Every structure is written in structure tokens, then in C-alpha cells.
Amino acid sequence: MEYKDYYKVMGLEKGASQEEIKRAYRKLARKYHPDVSKEANAENKFKEVGEAYEVLKDPAKRAKYDQFGQYWQEPSQAHQQQHHQQYTDDRGAADFEEFINSIFRHRQQQEQPFYEKGQDIHAKLTISLEDSFLGTQKTLQLQIPDSDAHGQLDYKLRSIKVKIPKGIEDKQQIRLKGQGGKGSAHHAGDLYIEILIAAHPMFRLHKKDVYLELPISPWEATLGATIQIPTLAGHVKLKIPKLSQSGKQMRLKGRGLPGQTPGDQIITLNIVIPQRDNEQVNKLYEQMAAIEEFNPREKLGVGNDQ
């Protein structure tokens, strides 16, 4: 029997690890498989690679091969090797199928055409805070990679409808299975869409909680008041306690983004002074200054002396 250098066949050094042998076999079997290869004499090379792998993957056979070279088989085994040559080739293909998760499909000669999963696609979609609160549907225009029948990569423009669920948070992902790039056998990848929630003119979002800075007048802060405030679901009434300070936070339970555990709306009070000079109002403030012995800087260790 003609001696074959199995390491040379597989492009390996003699000290190659079992993992390197597996990787080399996977690569070469893809390259020379008759269904997809354009290499000259691909079928014979495919069988040669399978034969080499059958020996090198088996530690016992490999040890004999390394020790005895072309005489690694005992005479009694030579006839058995010749009788089962086709079985050896089939076993090689079966091992390859195990390594790459059935990337050959069944055909009449018990060979299987190679296919690859298409490319996963990642995209970003910006929506409004109201879209997240109410849920909506958007349409994306994307250039999706698509392999033709010969495995050549091309790009096609596709319109993809995306359902935005209620309560989706900023930077969460939506996965659309099978909406990515097409593989060589139309085994499509997935489309991953990262949702970005645009800045809002009134609200600030943190996870599912919605924050609102609420301006109130000095008299509302002092006397207390019931006022209307905006929420994502519309206006509601809020009771401001007497003697409220700037920076005081109030919570509206369940008024944030919806979900299994809905978020809240957090209101921060901000006392605002009227920006116009009113003589009557000024006199009232002068009366307050004369009557009320209030030192807002007491904790700083200073008095009201002018």
C-alpha cells in the first residue's frame, strides 16, 4: 500500500493536538466537499482528508502510525483496511457532521451538502418615551446580507416591521428570529434591534421610573396646594404639602413605564420666584421680613445682619 503522510495531507505538524486535528479536518472537509468545492480533484482530496483524520483522531492508531510510519498496520489488518475503505470514508463524514452540528444534509449517496447559518444583524431604533409607554409598531429599512445559490454575498433592501412592546426600556434589545442574513441554504440569522429612547422635553427616564422637575410658587410651597401635573397617561392632581422645600421629592406609584412591576413617577419640587417687579408683592415680602424671624443661613453660623 502506498505510504501517505497524513500530517502533510492535513497541513499539520507531527506534534499537533487533538483539537488542532479536529479544526484542520473541519476546514479541509468544507474546502473539498464535492457539493461545494471548486477545487480540482476535490472528491479524491475529500476522501484522502477523511482517511487521514480517521487515523489521527484515534490515539491508538495515531501512536502506531507515529511509530511505524507506512508499516503501522499489521499484515492481518491490511486486508480488513482494504475491505472497509468505503466504511472509513463514511465514518469520516459522520465525524465531521458531529463536529459542525449537521452541516451536511442527506443526499442519495449518503453525502450531505454543506450549509451555514446566515449572519446575525444588529441595528438601532430610536423611539419616543410615549412609544415605549403605549407600545407601537415601527418599520425599519435595512440592507440585509444575502447569499445567492453559489454562496456569493449580496445585500438587499428589506422593510421589516418591528413591534415595540409596552414598557420597553432604553437600550433593551428585541430579537427577530430568522430576519437576519440568509445562509448558503437559506438558514437565516437573527436580527437584533437595540431600542434607544429619545430625550423628552419634560421627563427624564431611569429604567422604568419617570422623573419630573415640578416648578411651584413660593405661596404654593408655603401654604400647600392641589395642582395639576403631567404624566405619560395624562394630567393628574397632586397635593403639595404645606411648608414644602425645593428639592423635596414626591412619588406617584405605578405612573412610570408599564410592566410586570411598573415604574413610578418621581416628582422633584422646585420653588420658582416670579421674574417681574411688583410693588404690591414687594411690600408683602417686606412685611414678612419684619414679622418672621427666619434665618435660612443659621446652619452656616451667620445671622441676618446687613
Which set of grid coordinates corresponds to residue 32?
Answer: 473539498
> What is the four-CA torsion angle of 232, 233, 234, 240, rounded to 10 degrees?
-80
pTM of the model: 0.58
| Rounded CA separation 257/275 (Å) | 35
Spatial contact of 190 and 176, defined as CB atoms under 8 Å apart = yes
User: DSSP class of residue 51?
Assistant: H
Confidence at 193, pLDDT banded by 50, 70, 90 = very high
Judged against a pLDDT cut of 80, whether residue 101 lies above it is answered with no
> Worst-scoring range by mean pLDDT, 46-50, 67-71, 239-243, 264-268?
67-71
C-beta neighbour count of 265 within 10 angstroms:
24
Q: Domains (ranges, CATH) in the chain? A: 6-99 (1.10.287.110), 121-197 (2.60.260.20), 203-291 (2.60.260.20)
Query: Confidence class of residue 207 from pLDDT cuts 50, 70 and 90?
Result: very high
Instruction: Kindly state the percentage of the chain with pLDDT values over 70.
Output: 78
pLDDT at 106 over 80: no
Measured distance CA(156)–CA(76) in Å, rounded = 60
Overall average pLDDT of the 130-144 stretch: 92
> Which pLDDT does position 185 carry in this prediction?
55
With a cut of 90, say whether residue 39 has pLDDT above it. no
Would you call 107 helix, strand, or coil by DSSP? coil
What pLDDT score was predicted for residue 117? 66
Q: What is the mean pLDDT of residues 54-68?
A: 84
Among candidates 242, 260, 254, 145, which has minimal Cα distance to 191?
145
Helix (H) or strand (E) holding 192: strand 191-197
Name the 3-class secondary structure at 137.
strand
Question: Per-residue pLDDT averaged across 74-98, rounded?
Answer: 47
> Quick one: pLDDT at residue 186?
59
Q: In this model, does residue 239 exceed pLDDT 90?
A: yes
CB 250 within 8 A of CB 231: no
Closest CA to 101 of 111, 116, 120, 89: 116
Higher pLDDT, 24 or 75: 24
* Separation in Å, CA 248 to CA 106, 183, 202, 203: 71, 58, 18, 17
Whether the per-residue pLDDT at 8 is higher than 50: the answer is yes
- pLDDT over 90 at 253, yes or no: yes
Q: What is the chain's mean pLDDT, rounded?
A: 81
- pLDDT of residue 12 exceeding 80, the answer is yes
DSSP string, 15-50: T--HHHHHHHHHHHHHHH-TTT--STTHHHHHHHHH
pLDDT one-digit tens code per residue, 174-192:
999 988 877 655 578 889 9
More confident residue, 257 or 278: 257
**If you average pLDDT over residues 104-128, what whole number do you get?**
64
Q: Are 87 and 156 in contact (CB under 8 A)?
A: no
Question: Predicted confidence band at 98 (pLDDT cuts at 50, 70, 90)?
Answer: low
Distance spanning both ends of the chain, measured CA to CA: 113
Residue 160 or residue 148, greater confidence: 160
pLDDT higher for 112 or 212? Answer: 212
Pairwise CA distance, residues 3 & 112, whole Å? 29
Percent pLDDT > 90 in the chain is 38
Query: Is 90 exceeded by the pLDDT of residue 105?
Result: no
User: Can you tell me the mean pLDDT for 262-291?
Assistant: 91
- Tell me, what's the pLDDT at 109? 38
